[in-house]
Amino acid sequence: MTDLIERWRTERERRAFIALEDGTVFRGVRFGAKVDAVGELVFNTGMCGYQEILTDPSYAGQFVALTAPEIGNYGTNPEDVESRGLFLSGLVIGELNEPSNWRSTMSLDGYLKAAGKPGIYGVDTRALTEHLREQGNQKAYLGELEVENGECKIEGLRDGIAKARAWEGLDGKDYAAKVSTDKTYRSSLRQSATTNHRVVVYDFGVKSNILRSLSDCGFEVTVVPAKTSAEEVLALNPDGVFLSNGPADPAAVTYAIENIRKLLGLQPLSDASTSQPVPVMGICLGHQLLALACGAKTGRLKFGHHGCNHPIKNLATGKVEIASHNHNFAVLREGLPECLEVTHVNLNDESIAGIRHKTLPAFSVQYHPESCPGPHDSAYLFDQFRRMVLDRR
């Protein structure tokens, strides 16, 4: 009983709120770093994998609300990270648990503190998710509740709503450059002994397991910054180019669209020369960028796809894959150029989940084949990329 009373007292002293641009406010208890933040609020329907979510650069500029009711029970560890840091704005959860797992080296609370990222628990995440499904993703502000004489000051909540509305948002913003590596490097993640092909990975927010998956396919993997020119990539003499996942609005990453066009031979190089098209595979943001480079259009989804339980139909085989998603934008069917063929669809909303170019060696998917919700439903896509590379040699 004493422990419960002490926790209750602590929670009273750590009151927090997350205010949405439409004026809705959800109250809870602060944990993680004691900092205020702004971002776009999205919900993720995964039942586990919160550390992978936290370290996914595609969440840059976003608050992630987890729909699973209890979070933190298996703690965190250095083996499950997907990138060099945490890029999201903050975490919103229902119940915060203490870790009880032999692999855990730090609690979720301590992990967020160390990364300087705020969290809020005790939130009615079911009501929050229903609200976002009805109203769409919202700009949001996470802050501390001011209490005076035992009462919360309404002015603080109004100020939080105003700050959410004033934030510039993600539309038209290039976040890929913010999360990308700043230097070229050779990946050493689980390098295969049978490596005999070179692939260059554009880092728009690449996840570690993508690099492992490419290595497992026998690729020698070189990672380059998001703004690396096509000419510099071709100078590395790659057998293929991989376009990684990443955050925010694909239409804002104009330099990447131009470089992809050059790699496919759709646009001359800077010296006005032409080259044979390089085999290209893209996922997530890379999928959207490939589509844009081929003349398609992208647009915002109402509340995005975030979770590891989305059913995807492969139109060639008729098989359904359970896939991991994290995106607010999608390739539009309207105006899809004749050169592109839809290969996969999301069965939840019939949105485009995969494309291929009809004449050039290029294909992409909207989801994450390196993730394992299926657990291996989508692993064939990396083998498909390898076969494409072999066919072009």
284 classed as catalytic = yes
Which listed residue (21, 52, 82, 370) is catalytic? 370
Q: What is the CATH number of domain 12-166?
A: 3.50.30.20
Contact 99, 108 (CB under 8 A): yes
Examine the residue annotation and report whether 217 is marked as an active-site residue of this protein: no
Average pLDDT for the chain: 92
pTM over 0.85: yes
User: Strands, DSSP E only, in 11-168?
Assistant: 15-20, 25-32, 37-44, 62-66, 70-71, 90-92, 95-96, 118-121, 138-144, 147-148, 151-152
Average pLDDT over residues 132-145: 96
The confidence score (pLDDT) of residue 220 equals: 95
Per-residue pLDDT tens digits for 17-66: 999 999 999 999 999 999 999 999 999 999 889 999 999 999 999 999 99
Q: How confident is the model at residue 163 (pLDDT cuts 50, 70, 90)?
A: very high
Residue 1, pLDDT score: 44
Residue 356 tokens, joined = 């291929």
Q: What is the DSSP string of 315-356?
A: TTT--EEEEEEEEEEEE-STT--TTEEEEEEETTT--EEEEE
pLDDT value of residue 308: 87
> In this predicted structure, what is the pLDDT of residue 309?
87
**CATH architecture entry for 176-392:** 3-Layer(aba) Sandwich (3.40)
pLDDT at 4: 44
Instruction: Tell me if 12-166 shares its fold with 176-392.
Output: no
Active site residue 368: yes
The rounded percent of the chain whose pLDDT value lies above 70 is 92
- Cα separation of 144 and 124, whole Å? 17
Could you say which of 21, 220, 284, 310 is catalytic? Answer: 284
| In the chain, where the domains are located | 12-166, 176-392
Active-site residue identified among 310, 344, 357, 368: 368
The stretch 345-352 carries a mean pLDDT of 97
pLDDT at 193: 54
